[in-house]
Amino acid sequence: MMMKKLCYLIVAGLSLLQACDKESGPVVGPPVSPDEIGKASVWLTTGDKTKLLNKEGDISITEPIATTLPLITIDPAQTYQQIDGFGAAMTGSSAYLIKNLSASRRNALLQELFDPGAGIGISYVRLTIGASDFSLEDYSYNDMPAGETDFSLQNFSLSKDADVISVMKQVVAVNPVIHIMGSPWSAPAWMKTNGSMKYVNGQANKLKEDCYEVYADYFVKYIQAYAAEGITIETITPQNEPLHYTAGYPCMHMEAVEQINFVKNHLGPALQAASLNTKIIAYDHNWDNTNYAISVLNDAGAKQYVAGSAFHAYAGNVSAMTTVRNAHPDKGLYFTEVSGGEWATNFSDNLQWSMSNIFIGTTKNWSKNVLLWNMALDPNFGPKNNGCSDCRGVITIAPDGTITRNVEYYTIGHFSKFVQTGAKRIASTISENIANVDYVAFANTDGNLAMVVANNNDTMKTFAVKQGSGQFTYAIPAKSVVTLTWKL
C-alpha cells in the first residue's frame, strides 16, 4: 500500500509541475534551424589568385529569418535592360595567334572561351571592319592604287580577313547564337580627304563628302560578305573612336554632325534598302563626352536608324552611360572597349577596378553588353600595327602555344558563364551599405538568378541575400569576386 501511495504522489507531482509549466509558458529548448528549400552555387576568384573562378561548396537556402547582417534583397519582378552578352574583340592579331595554334590546342581553346559548359561562355565578339592598330598590316576591303577610285566597289574583297573568318567560323560552330559587332577604324584611303587610312602631317582625316554613299554601300557589302561565310554581323558602329584621329594607325575623324548626316541620309537607308537587320550603334568612344551620342539621338532622322550608343573607358566616368540613357531611355547602351596593360599589372587591383568600373559598373549603368579589347596577344603585346605598345590580351599565347589566362579572362568569366544572352538586370537593394562592396543581379530566361559581388576591402565581408521565400548568407573573402547562382 505504501508503494502505491508513493507512486501516486510522484505522478501527482509531475502533473502539478506540468500544470505550472503550462501557466508560466513553454520550456525553451535549443534553437530550431529553418528548413532548407534550395542551394546556391558559388564561384570565387580571390585577389591573391589562390582561387580562380573556382567552384566552391554550395550554400544552403532557407526560409527567411531575422538577421543583423546587411541584407541584399533581390526582386526579379523589377527588371531593367536586357543583356546581349560579354566578351572581347577578335582583332586581326588575336585571330592570327589563335589560328596558328595546333588544331587540338585551337579547338580546346575555343571550347574553353565560348562554350558556357566547358568554359567561360563568351557570348559577344567585336570585329574590326578592316585593319586596326592590332592587325598584321594596314588594309581595307577595297584598296586601290594611289589616285584611283572604285565607286562601284568592284574590287571589294575580304581576303585580308582570312584569319578572322577562319577563327570566327569555329567560334560560331561552338556558340551558334553569339552576338557579333563590327567597327571600322578607317574608310578605304581613296574615300578620304587625306588619301590615307592614317593621320598624315596635319591634313584633314575625314570621309569625303562625295563618298558618303559609297561608304554606306561598303558597309552593306561587308555585312553581306560575312553572312555568306556564315557569320552574322548583328551590330555596327559607323566609326571607332571618331574623335581620336591623329594616330599612326588606321583612324578617321567624324564629328557628331557628320555622323548624323552619314547615318540618316546614307547608312541607315542603305541597310534598309538591302533588307538588312543589322543595328547601328552611335559614337563608340570615351565616357568623357555625352554630347556626341545625345546629339545623334536628338536628330529624329538619324535616331530612327540608331539602336543605341557605345562607349569606351579610357576617359570619363561610367555614369556617363546613365546620362545618355536618361536623355533617350528608348535606346540601348553598349560598352565596347577597354584594355588592360603593363601600366597596371597587379592582379588584385585590376580585378577590383574592372568589376567596379567595367562589369558591375557598366551593367548598373544600363549597358547591354561588356566588351574588352584584344581577345589574345603574344608575350610582346602584339602583333601590333603602330598602336598600343603594352596592351594585354584576355589571354596571352606564347610562341610554343602555351596559354596564359590573364585577369581579364576571369572578369569576363564571372559574367559570361552565368549571365545568359537575353537575361535582364533585376533590382537589388541593400539594407545598410557595405563600403567598397559592389554587386549586381540578373534573371536568366530559364529562371536561374545570378548575382556578382566584388569585395574591395582588406577584410572578409558577410552579408545575407533574400529573394522571395528564400534567404542565404555568404562571407566573401578580402579582395575577391564571387558569382552566386540559384533558382527557387
Q: Where in the sequence numbering do the catalytic residues fall?
A: 241, 337
Measure Cα distances from 121 to 83, 171, 417, 421, 448 in Å: 14, 11, 5, 10, 16
Inter-residue contact 388 to 133 (CB < 8 Å): yes
Length of the chain: 488
Q: What is the DSSP string of 204-227?
A: --BB-GGGHHHHHHHHHHHHHHHH
b/e 9-42 (16+ beta carbons within 10 angstroms → b): eeeeeeeeeeeeeeeeeeeeeeeeeeeeebebbb
Distance of alpha carbon 115 from alpha carbon 106, whole angstroms: 13
| Cα–Cα distance list, 49 to 52, 347, 355, 440, 477 (Å) | 6, 8, 16, 23, 12
d(CA 400, CA 393): 17
Question: From the CA atom positions of the chain, what is the Rg in Å?
Answer: 28
Three-state SS annotation for 93-155 = HHHHHHHCCCHHHHHHHHHHHHCCCCCCCCCEEEEEECCCCCCCCCCCCCCCCCCCCCCCCCC
Q: Measured in whole angstroms, how far is the alpha carbon of residue 193 from the centre of its chain?
A: 35
Q: What is the DSSP string of 448-477?
A: -EEEEEEE-SSS-EEEEEEETTEEEEEEEP
